Amino acid sequence: MAVEIKTSGVKPLRNTFDHLVARFGDKPANRYQEFSFDTQPATNFHYKPLWNPDSEVYDINASAIKMNDWYALKDPRQFYYGSYVSARAKQQEAIDQQLAFIDDIGSLSSLPEKAKNLLTEIIVALRHYEWGANTNNNFIAAYGYGTTITQAATIATCDRLAMAQHLSRIGLLIDEKTGESLDKAKRIWIESPAWQGIRKDIEGVFVLRDWFEVFVAQNLVADGLMYPLIFDEFVSSFSRNYGNDLNSLTNYSVKWQSDFARWVDSVVKTASSESDENKEQINKWIDKWHASIYSSLGDLAKLAFGIECDESLEKINSSFIARISKLGLR
């Protein structure tokens, strides 16, 4: 008996949701579009926040920045939950393998005491800075407007917590899992003069009310100066003196910041291009926080580089100014 198999196509009754048709046209939407666009609650609020009765729960006026369409602040990486988790899982596996290798050969725990102290004072203490960045991005996720920005900020909170944990694991490699370096790093963050300027700046961001200013202060200015100083300049300096093991452990941080900066730059450029008022406001915030954070980095740079600190500071500052200029800002 012959069996004849035929194929037939089923034409879908609709390509996508109506709100995506209105925005992108009548065509199939990708997952990022489905998860991210026009999903911000905007109507039928039953109460005002008890802690801020002059505002709505989700308030379009929570920032001095104004946008005709808040969904213009999209993520060029097109991260939503599924794509984000998949990408980070692969990266985490690679990090775990590298940490396990360094643990097996004991290259960090066998460093001279001076080198281990320097790593604790700079790299391990940085985990508290990352916790501050986690807190600040939580604020953006809570009070920002438009799912494209709040979704990406939520992802950033996870990344910053993971970064703090990664730095903690480096500390455990230094002290052979006793936790001594973590306790010491906390005391350094709280008491060391080298960190008090940065700590004051980050805690100053904690009390800001404008979520977009928090975005500029933390993700653009603070990270734009701190990451090159630590993961480019300091790691290179340390590796020249003590080998490349630290370089291999922090390579992920460098790549992550480059990827993260794509999102930050895209948001800032889009918002500043919206209007002259937005551009002027963002320029004021950059001027304010650059002056404070760059000044605070002086003491940290002295601890990290000694007499060569001025050269390293000038290098990262020149790169930061060039980055701001590419965004069309001063």
Mean residue pLDDT across the chain = 94
Architecture of domain 78-326: Orthogonal Bundle (1.10)
Which residues fall within 8 angstroms of residue 141, CB to CB, at 6 or more apart?
150, 153, 154, 156, 157
The pLDDT tens digits for 212-258 are 999 999 999 999 999 999 999 999 999 999 988 999 999 999 999 99
Give the pLDDT score at 12.
Answer: 79
- Host H or E run for residue 283: helix 276-305
Q: Residue 199: its pLDDT value, please?
A: 98
First to last CA, the chain: 79
The answer to whether the beta carbons of residues 36 and 80 sit under 8 Å apart is: yes
Between vectors from CA 117 to CA 136 and to CA 175, what angle results, nearest 5°? 85
Q: What is the pLDDT of residue 271?
A: 98
Q: Can you list the residues of the chain whose pLDDT is less than 70?
A: 1
- Which pLDDT score, from 0 to 100, does residue 114 have? 95
Q: What is the structure's pLDDT at 1?
A: 62
pLDDT of residue 6: 75
pLDDT single digits (tens) 259-309: 999 999 999 999 999 999 999 999 999 999 999 999 999 999 999 998 889
